[in-house]
Amino acid sequence: MTEKKAKVAVLVSGGGTNLQAIIDAEKNGTIRSGTVSLVVSNNENAYALTRAANAGIETAVLLRKLFESSEAFEQALIRTLEEKGIDLIVLAGFMTILSERFTTRFRNRIINVHPSLIPSFCGQGFYGLKVHEEALKKGVKVTGATVHFVNEIPDGGEIIFQKAVEVLPGDTPETLQKRVMEQAEWILLPAAVEEISKRICTEE
């Protein structure tokens, strides 16, 4: 009898480095309770789609501009996820704020990684390099990453894991971003996928 695994969908918009961390973690056995079944992008040129194809993972592209409203876009996204029987949704650099209608439908089944120690440098407008720019501007000595559940408030859901990363003298937003990815995001996100997948498999 094959062991039941949670079906994971990863939502992406760009390069997909966090997606790659999840793919690698599944391959090396860090993620045992879940499997990436689908990668969805709102950008047809996202390199993340190439990463998914290279790993033999099914992909879907949904472009917001092809829908008359955000609601119609979300409905199509919901349909895509539900048709594939997705158990867990991972936001990995997905550049679309999801509405309460969407997050309520998948309550405690959507997780996101944010490149700071929430509640610092988070919320509306804080994404990508902007987070690290603000951290350096503030002069913090420690930053990090947070994996949290997603609700209707940007970066407002319950925290799952956090990991601190030292800010070094001479850091630029780019060097800090790279260190936070390598020392925190790429470790925490796969760990959270395993943790929540295990929980989902136990519940069912």
> Within 10 A of 119 (CB to CB), how many other CB atoms are there?
11
Residue with tokens 């048709």, as numbered in its chain: 83
- 6: Cα separation from own chain's centroid: 16
Task: Please report the beta strands in the chain, taking only residues with DSSP state E, as ranges in sequence order.
Answer: 6-12, 34-41, 58-61, 88-91, 110-114, 142-149, 159-166
Asked whether residue 26 is assigned to any structural domain, the reply reads: yes
Average pLDDT of adjacent 10-residue blocks, the chain of 204 residues: 83 95 97 98 96 97 93 96 97 90 95 96 91 97 97 93 98 97 97 97 82
Asked whether residue 1 is assigned to any structural domain, the reply reads: no
Asked whether residue 122 is assigned to any structural domain, the reply reads: yes
Q: What is the DSSP string of 85-98?
A: T--EEEESS--SPP
The whole-model pTM stands at 0.94
The set of catalytic residues is 114
- Which residues is 89 bridged to in the sheet? 9, 110
State residue 46's pLDDT score.
96
CATH of the domain at 182: 3.40.50.170
- Which residues is 18 bridged to in the sheet? none
State residue 88's pLDDT score.
98
State residue 1's pLDDT score.
37
Asked whether residue 168 is assigned to any structural domain, the reply reads: yes
Asked whether residue 101 is assigned to any structural domain, the reply reads: yes
Domain boundaries, position 115: 6-203
Q: How many structural domains is the chain composed of?
A: 1
CB 181 within 8 A of CB 113: no
Asked whether residue 31 is assigned to any structural domain, the reply reads: yes
